């Protein structure tokens, strides 16, 4: 046993001494592969292969994320039943291209699998948020929903329970939170007047402090940030339809200002984090959206009509009935939100 512990460095020294370098290959050895290529027109085959690969990745159409179930390209507005492209109603801000443009990037060549992203969706248990979560999970991303369930419901996302790509955290965005993610979709905020007027101070805190917290997180972990803003930033607009250059007409002391001014401040913070801290940001100014999982008692026109129709009551039309709104189906919104 003792002999095993004896120093054997002399042996290895011997081995090193006996090393002799490899003989240098003659120069014509380098030409061997070239001659091989030229023989029997193998070069032609190589060139044809390169041409086929180039054709495959450039000419053949690239794969889009599959169109979201039930998505429609058009929305109906008012009683006139005029149809307009849905893109008209989605004001999306991308700092690289400005408002109104939808980035067509993100296309993936056929045959290449996209790496799943880690995404946090605040307000992901709400109406719009839960549809966005469905879409992100379907395209292979890992999603963390952060929600305080003020207006959202677990039922909206419970079909993802047990999916390893899905997590749900009960958390109020007014409190800071640290998560390692690639993207943040910041939706947390009650959207209908009945809900946002219920506790106006909480609404503005959610918009200002909540947005600050999420922007701080985006800066800290280097995540891309998307804010769901609203057409309400135009207030009681003096221009119809509102152009992107229009700054709005908002009453800063009215009962709706907790939401309108809250969202305006959230937009300001978003742009300041972009300009000042280099955070990559998007702002989507959403107009009236309807679809499955919307709150039946949110007091908005589509839910009111649906609720009255289900109760077989006459539909209530306020005023002279000539007022107009822009409506979009939720799948159209989700499709646009994930592409900007």
Task: Tell me how far, at minimum, the Cβ of 215 lies from ligand NAD, in Å.
Answer: 15
- 321 DSSP assignment: S
Please enumerate in sequence order all residues whose Cβ is within 8 A of that of 208, keeping only pairs 6 or more positions apart, or say none: 262, 265, 266, 269
Out of 57, 149, 198, 247, the only residue in the binding site for ligand NAD (CB under 6 A) is 149
Distance separating alpha carbons of residues 58 and 60, to the nearest angstrom: 6
Interaction of residue 148 with ligand NAD, rule CB under 6 A: yes
Rank residues 185 and 273 by Cβ distance to ligand NAD and give the closer one: 185
With CB under 6 A as the contact rule, which of the stretches 84-92, 106-114, 141-149, 273-281 interacts with ligand NAD?
141-149
Out of 68, 89, 93, 127, the only residue in the binding site for ligand NAD (CB under 6 A) is 127
Closest CA to 143 of 125, 162, 168: 168
Please report, as residue ranges, which positions from 187 to 216 form the binding site for ligand NAD (by CB under 6 A).
Answer: 187-191, 195, 206, 210
Interaction of residue 228 with ligand NAD, rule CB under 6 A: yes
Tell me the site size for ligand NAD, rule CB under 6 A: 29
Token pair of 91, please? 């004001």
Task: Tell me how far, at minimum, the Cβ of 152 lies from ligand NAD, in Å.
Answer: 2
Rank residues 126 and 235 by Cβ distance to ligand NAD and give the closer one: 126
Rank residues 228 and 331 by Cβ distance to ligand NAD and give the closer one: 228
With CB under 6 A as the contact rule, which of the stretches 80-88, 103-111, 170-178, 308-316 interacts with ligand NAD?
170-178
Distance separating alpha carbons of residues 224 and 185, to the nearest angstrom: 8
Q: Is 228 exposed, middle or buried (0-12, 13-18, 19+ CB in 10 A)?
A: buried
Distance separating alpha carbons of residues 123 and 230, to the nearest angstrom: 15
Distance separating alpha carbons of residues 21 and 33, to the nearest angstrom: 24
Interaction of residue 181 with ligand NAD, rule CB under 6 A: no
**Catalytic positions, written as ranges:** 259
What's the number of CA atoms in the CB half-sphere (13 Å) around residue 195? 18
- Site string (270-289) toward ligand NAD, x via CB under 6 A: ----------------x-xx
Write down the H helix ranges in 278-327: 301-310
Rank residues 29 and 296 by Cβ distance to ligand NAD and give the closer one: 296
Strand partners, 108: 63
Site residues for ligand NAD per CB under 6 A: 122-123, 125-129, 147-152, 172-174, 187-191, 195, 206, 210, 228, 230, 286, 288-289
């Amino acid at each position: 046993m003792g002999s095993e512990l004896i120093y054997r460095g002399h042996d290895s020294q011997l081995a090193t001494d006996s090393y002799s370098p490899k003989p240098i290959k003659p120069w014509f050895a380098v030409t061997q592969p070239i001659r091989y290529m030229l023989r029997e027109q193998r070069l032609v085959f190589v060139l044809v292969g390169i041409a086929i690969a180039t054709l495959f990745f450039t000419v053949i159409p690239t794969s889009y994320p599959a169109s979201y179930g039930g998505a429609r390209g058009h929305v109906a507005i008012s009683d006139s039943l005029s149809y307009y492209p849905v893109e008209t109603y989605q004001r999306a801000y991308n700092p690289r291209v400005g408002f109104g443009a939808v980035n067509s990037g993100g296309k993936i060549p056929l045959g290449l699998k996209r790496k799943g992203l880690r995404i946090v969706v605040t307000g992901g248990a709400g109406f719009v948020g839960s549809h966005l979560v469905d879409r992100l999970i379907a395209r292979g991303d890992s999603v963390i929903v952060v929600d305080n369930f003020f207006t959202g419901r677990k039922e909206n996302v419970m079909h993802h329970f047990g999916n390893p790509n899905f997590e749900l955290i009960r958390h109020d965005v007014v409190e800071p939170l640290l998560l390692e993610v690639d993207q943040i979709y910041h939706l947390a905020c009650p959207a209908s007047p009945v809900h946002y007027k219920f506790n106006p101070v909480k609404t503005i805190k959610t918009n200002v402090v909540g947005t600050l917290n999420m922007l701080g997180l985006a800066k800290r972990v280097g995540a891309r940030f998307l804010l769901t803003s609203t057409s309400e930033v135009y207030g009681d607009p003096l221009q119809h339809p509102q152009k992107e250059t229009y700054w709005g007409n908002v009453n800063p002391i009215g009962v709706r200002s907790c939401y309108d001014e809250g969202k305006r401040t959230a937009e300001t913070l978003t742009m300041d984090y972009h300009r000042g801290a280099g955070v990559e940001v998007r702002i989507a100014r959403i107009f009236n959206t309807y679809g499955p999982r919307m709150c039946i008692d949110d007091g908005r026109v589509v839910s009111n009509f649906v609720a009255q129709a289900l109760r077989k009551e006459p539909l209530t039309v306020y005023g002279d009935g000539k007022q107009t709104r822009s409506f979009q189906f939720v799948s159209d919104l989700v499709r646009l939100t994930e592409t900007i």
